[in-house]
């Protein structure tokens, strides 16, 4: 077979890629859909390996990709399904650590180039921390290129033995609506959430210990004295659900947990403020959606958040509930400051790579890796 080009010149067969999704986080799934759409438009063949439910939400086939159901486990049946899907691939691109590990197992000793994108930093303690390090090392060494979505993740991949680790932005598609539609949708969403006559504060992300939700609930205690009292809505599910729900009920906090939703961007766009109390996500999807939607953001200054938002958010120290509560209260009573943050947010979002630029960067990595392969 002659060498193939992603752009299929002179009738050569197109580049065949397999995109592998792990836990199906909203960030990586939205990125893979955007990537698949852009790659297909450029003549690349794309197969997405992900659970049925992830395809049901993100509709990879709707943008011209082929979908293969691969469950989220590393059991032999899943790995065998993935191995079959990768059999004739020119390149495999896994998204997330666990997807990278499954792709490594599936490829075995094959010479198919593997690209792995690390979207978030994983956390573990005790014996699990040792296992996590081993997993990261195995994946970092197996990949021809590791793409990290923050400089912290690039450094982490290098420290785990990656031969080639690079910074790669992950763009979030901005909501596109005309003004009337936006206002109507905003009113409807606020009514549905119970915030027609009170400020709506929106947070989103998996409910685990590293997301700072305890700090957020501590801050919410302070907001009970505000008039009108704001409503905090948290989108997401996870191991802390019952602990957080119990606190909300026991302390009568103005907070609602609404579980997993597929319209987080639209919920954020309906809010008065977006809240990011902390978290391991490298390029926070909530922060990007807030700035795109011109919703002022209050965020803990942790991880790569300052790198992402610059001066376009009210940043407070991670874990400082008093500072978080005060920043929110100050913004709610200062419309001029809200407007200033909106304008700064629009300017900051304009510096982020577009979907097209993200696809072009990934495609240049693919071309480089497939050009290095011997002619067959």
**pLDDT at residue 63 above 50?**
yes
How is 304-365 classified by DSSP, letter by letter?
A: THHHHHTTSSEEE-TT-HHHHHHHHHHHHT-HHHHHHHHHHHHHHHTTSPPHHHHHHHHHHH
- How far apart CA 295 and CA 56 sit, in angstroms, is 29
The region, left, alpha or beta by phi > 0 then psi within -120 to 50, assigned to residue 170 is beta
Give the mean pLDDT of 61-75: 89
**pLDDT at residue 303 above 50?**
yes
Q: Given strand 16-21, what is the order of strands in its sheet?
A: 66-69, 45-50, 16-21, 91-95, 114-118, 145-148, 165-167
pTM of the model: 0.81
Give the mean pLDDT of 216-239: 93
Distances (CA, A) of 225 to 217, 221, 229: 14, 8, 7
**CATH architecture, domain defined by 9-171+354-371:** 3-Layer(aba) Sandwich (3.40)
Q: What's the pLDDT at 127?
A: 86
Give the mean pLDDT of 115-135: 88
What are the pLDDT digits (tens) for 310-354?
999 999 999 999 999 999 999 999 999 999 999 999 999 999 988
Tell me the two tokens of residue 105: 């197992």
| Of residues 64, 51, 42, the one with CA closest to residue 21 | 51
Q: Picking from 9-23, 287-301, 338-352, which range would have the lowest pLDDT averaged per residue?
A: 9-23
**pLDDT at residue 257 above 90?**
yes
Q: For the chain, give every residue range classified as CATH 3.40.50.2000.
A: 9-171+354-371, 179-349
**pLDDT at residue 170 above 80?**
no
**pLDDT at residue 117 above 60?**
yes
Q: What is the CATH number of domain 179-349?
A: 3.40.50.2000
Share of the chain above pLDDT 70, in %: 91
Q: What's the pLDDT at 174?
A: 63
When pLDDT is cut at 50, 70 and 90, the band that residue 9 belongs to is: very low
Task: State which H helix or E strand residue 370 sits in.
Answer: helix 355-371
| Residue 355 or residue 366, greater confidence | 366
When pLDDT is cut at 50, 70 and 90, the band that residue 52 belongs to is: confident
């Amino acid at each position: 077979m002659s060498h193939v080009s992603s752009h299929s010149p002179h009738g050569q067969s197109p580049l065949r890629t397999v995109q592998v999704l792990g836990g199906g986080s909203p960030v990586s799934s939205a990125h893979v859909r955007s990537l698949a759409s852009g790659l297909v438009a450029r003549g690349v063949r794309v197969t997405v390996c992900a659970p049925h439910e992830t395809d049901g939400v993100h509709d990879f086939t709707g943008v011209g990709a082929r979908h293969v159901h691969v469950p989220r486990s590393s059991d032999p049946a899943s790995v065998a399904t993935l191995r079959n899907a990768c059999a004739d691939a020119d390149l495999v691109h896994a998204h997330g650590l666990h997807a990278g590990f499954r792709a490594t197992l599936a490829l075995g000793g094959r010479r198919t180039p593997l690209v792995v994108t690390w979207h978030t930093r994983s956390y573990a303690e005790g014996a699990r921390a040792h296992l996590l390090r081993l997993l990261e090392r195995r994946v970092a060494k197996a990949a021809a290129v590791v793409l990290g979505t923050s400089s912290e993740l690039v450094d982490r991949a290098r420290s785990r033995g990656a031969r080639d680790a690079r910074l790669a932005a992950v763009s979030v598609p901005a909501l596109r609506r005309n003004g009337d539609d936006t206002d109507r949708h905003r009113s409807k969403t606020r009514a549905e959430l119970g915030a027609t006559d009170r400020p709506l504060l929106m947070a989103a992300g998996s409910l685990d210990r590293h997301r700072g939700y305890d700090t957020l609930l501590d801050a919410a205690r302070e907001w009970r004295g505000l008039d009108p009292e704001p409503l905090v809505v948290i989108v997401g599910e996870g191991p802390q659900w019952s602990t957080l729900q119990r606190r909300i009920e026991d302390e009568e906090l103005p907070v609602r947990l609404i579980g997993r939703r597929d319209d987080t961007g639209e919920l954020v766009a309906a809010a008065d403020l977006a809240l990011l109390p902390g978290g391991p996500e490298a390029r926070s999807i909530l922060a990007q959606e807030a700035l795109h939607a011109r919703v002022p953001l209050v965020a803990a200054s942790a991880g790569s958040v300052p790198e992402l938002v610059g001066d376009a958010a009210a940043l407070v120290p991670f874990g400082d509930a008093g500072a978080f509560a005060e920043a929110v209260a100050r913004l709610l009573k200062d419309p001029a400051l809200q407007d200033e943050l909106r304008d700064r947010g629009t300017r900051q979002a304009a510096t982020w790579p577009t979907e097209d630029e993200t696809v072009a960067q990934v495609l240049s990595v693919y071309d480089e890796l497939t050009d290095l392969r011997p002619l067959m």
